[in-house]
Structure 1
Amino acid sequence: MDSVANRSTPAAANQAEKPFFSVRDVHAYYGESYIVQGVSLDIRKGEILALLGRNGAGKTSTLRTIARTDDPQLKRGEIWLDGQAVHGMKSFQAARAGIQLVPEDRRIIQGLTVEENIILAKVAPGDGWSLDQIYQSFPRLAERRKQEGVTLSGGEQQMLAIARALARNLKLLLLDEPYEGLAPVIVHEIERILHSIKPLGITTIIVEQNAVAALKLADRAVILDTGEVAFSGTAKEVLDNAELRHEYLAI
């Protein structure tokens, strides 16, 4: 590892308490392609972590591994959430345990209204937000509750995707490129929502190409480089380190 990476300190070394969420030496593959190469990270309850890196660094693959999707396949390593071992779970079991992935394509269900999309998410076991709670935090969705979900704007669909996650048992929110293609005013609205759920103890990992926006939102940052952790520390450290940003984020 290069000199910049060697100066980074794992978050666990600075934490007296046991982390709420941990990834330990995780290795994952798409077929024969070795994508996630020994990733480790720790997050405290209620923190927002920005998972950054260039295209192809393994960010989305890491999120999908955490969510226990069918691909990539976890070959080695451990994933722990609030004392539960996640690494042996299927995706539906991880979701029931509180891990909710909001993918880049949002996956709004065609033919269902906004409200029906949310109600369908609430069918899953576990406690989630009520419709009233969701509409209070997402007034745009309240206004469009009877509109078909796929006809919403991109920003409104992103809000709906996050609202569906909140309607389920949610401890760890995984966001893959939530700002992509959105106007700044919508980005600010999503940031407001993410800040509002922090005091509730909801922990968030955000993968985002707009690294500066993600870093301003986040408490901590992990930078991946070809499937490995190149840096782990505070978001402020990345914002203040032009050499680090240029080398690994090209900004």
Structure 2
Amino acid sequence: MNEKPEFDRSTNFSSHAPAFLSVWEIDAYYDESYIVQHVSFNVHEGEILALLGRNGAGKTSTLRTIARVDDPELRHGEIWLDHQPLHKMKSHEAAGVGIGLVPEDRRIIPGLTVEENLKLAQIAPPIGWSFERLYELFPRLGERRKQEGVTLSGGEQQMLSIARALARDVKVLLLDEPYEGLAPVIVQEIAKTLDIIREQGITTVIVEQNAIAALNLADRAVILDTGSVVFDGSAKEVLDNKELREEYLAI
């Protein structure tokens, strides 16, 4: 069994408690463009972390690095999930130990119904939530299970994308801009759903330009600026600090 290194208890992190997900001094590149620069933070089990910053701050790149997708390239640092070394894995291996990435473009597969999209997610173990449980969480998907996924509304497609991640045995849900392009009432609905998911013990990292909505949902926040961490603390601290929000989030 892999041993989790001592760095997850370092005073460089926001908590001395052992972390569920530890990101330690990661450097990631697109070709020779240095995008993620010595980024470190901890996420505890069942916690929602808002990963925030202006456009181009490195938020999506950090999320993709954690998920171990091919781009960007991780050149330094370590990522650990519950004693598992993600930094040594490919994306399918990271998915196999519990990483679920919900990308910004949702990637609903054309030609497949809602239920077929979910079945495809369960084509290989480990299997996560049952269809019954997913339709209980997302009643609209149950009503539209035979409808082609790409014909759903934007909010319904986002629900399908999240449900598809949960169809696997997910431990950490990585959400990239889940509120983008959605009406405020749908944003509230998605937020309530993410709160229910938290109650199930699933850890969540959310990247979102709608920073206030993300902060109202999150327990903690990490703010990036030009690829580096400039704040790591409670979400309430960010909501209460107007100067911090104006400087790094432009809100």
What TM-score comes out, normalization by structure 1 length?
Answer: 0.94
Give me the whole-angstrom Cα distance separating, in 1, the residues matched to 2:13 and 2:133: 34
Cα distance per residue 1:92-119 (max 9 Å; x no partner): 0001110011110000000000000001
- Tell me the distance in 1 between the aligned counterparts of 2:23 and 2:97: 16
CA deviation string 1:1-52 (max 9, x = no partner) = xxxxxxxx9784533x311110000000000000000000101100000000
**Corresponding position of 1:228:** 228
**Separation in 2, partners of 1:112, 1:162:** 16
Correspondence for 2:15? 14
Whether contact under 8 Å (1:106, 1:157) holds in the other structure is yes
1:226 Cα offset (Å): 0.3
SS in 2 for 1:14: coil
User: Which residue pairs with 1:53 in the alignment?
Assistant: 53
- Structure 1 segment 153-164 matched on structure 2, within 5 A: 153-164=153-164
SS in 2 for 1:123: coil
Matching residue's letter, 1:23? V
- Quote the residue 2:110 is aligned against: 110
Q: Which moved more, 1:195-204 or 1:44-53?
A: 195-204
Q: Following TM superposition, by how much is the alpha carbon of 1:163 offset from its aligned partner in structure 2, in angstroms? A: 0.2
How far apart are 1:192 and its partner, in Å?
A: 1.1
Q: 2: distance between equivalents of 1:159 and 1:145?
A: 12
Structure 2: runs of 5+ lacking an equivalent? 1-9
Q: In 2, distance between residues paired with 1:158 and 1:148?
A: 14
Aligned pairs for 1:34-49 within 5 A: 34-49=34-49
Identity, in percent, stands at 71
The number of equivalent residue pairs is: 242
Deviation >4 Å, runs of 4+: none
Note closer, same or farther for the CA distance 1:95–1:70 as it changes in structure 2 (3 Å cut): same
Deviation at 1:56, TM superposition (A): 0.4
Q: Match of 1:77? A: 77
What is the aligned partner in structure 2 of residue 142 from structure 1?
Answer: 142
**Corresponding residue for residue 246 of structure 2:** 246
The alignment partner of 1:26 has SS state of strand
Q: Determine if the alignment matches structure 1 residue 184 to structure 2 residue 192.
A: no
Structure 2: how far apart are the matches of 1:189 and 1:250?
25
Normalising by structure 2, we get a TM-score of: 0.94
- Say if 2:218 is the partner of 1:218: yes
